[in-house]
């Protein structure tokens, strides 16, 4: 085993969607940087992104930041260019940024078509473009690791967020295709299929009774923490996982190990909307 404290020394990583305090992305950035990686973090809001980046630098971590819009192909391509221009190489790409909770992402019958396109462009297409431009740079250094953040919403039906869940299903399939196509170059690609993770956004946007329903359906009795996920990203980024590729790894507190029902959630939402 590699020394865990320096297992990513000499590696360069990209983490998208890291511009929110208390979010999953910023936790990933810190965890990878603490393991020795030089990390490029992206976000959409300049002020918050720069403040978070400077805070990590003050802690002695080697990080840089760049603004990015995942629905803009040129912006996504620029992330890779920025990383290589800044650090000279690229070894790790974490596709984390995603458009969630779109107010018009409803049932298929009631779907707003522009909302569908926006969610797919940001999520599925954005992930593909980052991988597309990361692969040649990883090939130059003899390999790498692409880590896609997926969701358990891709595994079962629900009464809303149809576009979001469908993008995660697309990401699951894309993960296996990428892994197959670049294995010869020692580039690995895996996806983490997440349960509900307790972030600041989650805490502020979901009523306590709804959070309790989700907690009760995670058989370990709690929501995931950002650290739970970041530590697994660290593992997949390192050579400790060098024989893992093309995998969809359920990191969900056992949510899909049993048969949770969406009925209590949908009933809560109906009552809340009444």
Residue-wise pLDDT tens digits, 193-248 = 998 888 876 665 667 777 788 788 888 988 889 999 999 999 999 999 999 999 99
Q: Which residues are marked as active site?
A: 164
Does 20 fall in a domain? yes
Does 216 fall in a domain? no
Q: How many domains does the chain have?
A: 1
User: How high is the pLDDT of residue 72?
Assistant: 96
Cα within 13 Å of Cα(259), Cβ side: 0
Does 271 fall in a domain? no
Give the residue numbers spanning the domain of 119. 4-206+223-259
Does 270 fall in a domain? no
3-state secondary structure 116-150: HHHHHHHHHHHHHHHHHHHHHHHHHCCCEEEEEEE
Mean pLDDT value of segment 54-71? 97
pTM of the prediction?
Answer: 0.92
What CATH number did the domain enclosing 250 receive? 3.40.50.720
163 within 8 A of 98, measured Cβ to Cβ: no
Does 265 fall in a domain? no
Mean pLDDT value of segment 60-89? 98
Does 237 fall in a domain? yes
Does 139 fall in a domain? yes
Does 213 fall in a domain? no
């Amino acid at each position: 085993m590699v020394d865990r404290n320096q297992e990513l020394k000499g590696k360069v990583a990209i983490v998208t969607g890291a511009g929110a305090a208390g979010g999953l992305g910023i936790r990933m950035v810190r965890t990878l940087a603490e393991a020795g990686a030089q990390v490029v973090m992206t976000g959409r809001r300049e002020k918050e992104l720069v403040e978070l980046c400077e805070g990590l630098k003050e802690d002695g971590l080697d990080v840089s930041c760049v603004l990015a819009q995942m629905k803009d192909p040129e912006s996504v391509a620029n992330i890779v260019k920025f990383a290589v221009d800044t650090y000279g190489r690229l070894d790790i790409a974490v596709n984390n940024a995603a458009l969630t909770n779109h107010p018009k992402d409803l049932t298929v019958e009631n779907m707003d078509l522009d909302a569908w396109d926006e969610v797919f462009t940001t999520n599925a297409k954005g992930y593909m473009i980052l991988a597309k431009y990361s692969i040649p740079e990883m090939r130059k250094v003899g390999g790498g690791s692409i880590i896609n953040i997926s969701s358990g919403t891709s595994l079962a039906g629900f009464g809303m967020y149809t576009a979001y869940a469908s993008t995660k299903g697309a990401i699951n399939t894309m993960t296996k295709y990428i892994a197959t196509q670049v294995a010869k170059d020692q580039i690995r690609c895996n996806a983490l299929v997440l349960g509900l993770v307790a972030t600041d956004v989650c805490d502020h946007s979901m009523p306590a009774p709804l959070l309790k329903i989700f907690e009760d359906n995670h058989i370990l009795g709690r929501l995931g923490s950002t650290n739970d996920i970041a530590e697994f990203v660290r593992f997949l980024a390192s050579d400790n996982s060098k024989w893992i590729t093309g995998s969809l790894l359920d990191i969900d507190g056992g949510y899909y190990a049993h048969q949770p029902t969406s009925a209590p959630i949908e009933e809560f939402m109906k009552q809340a909307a009444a």
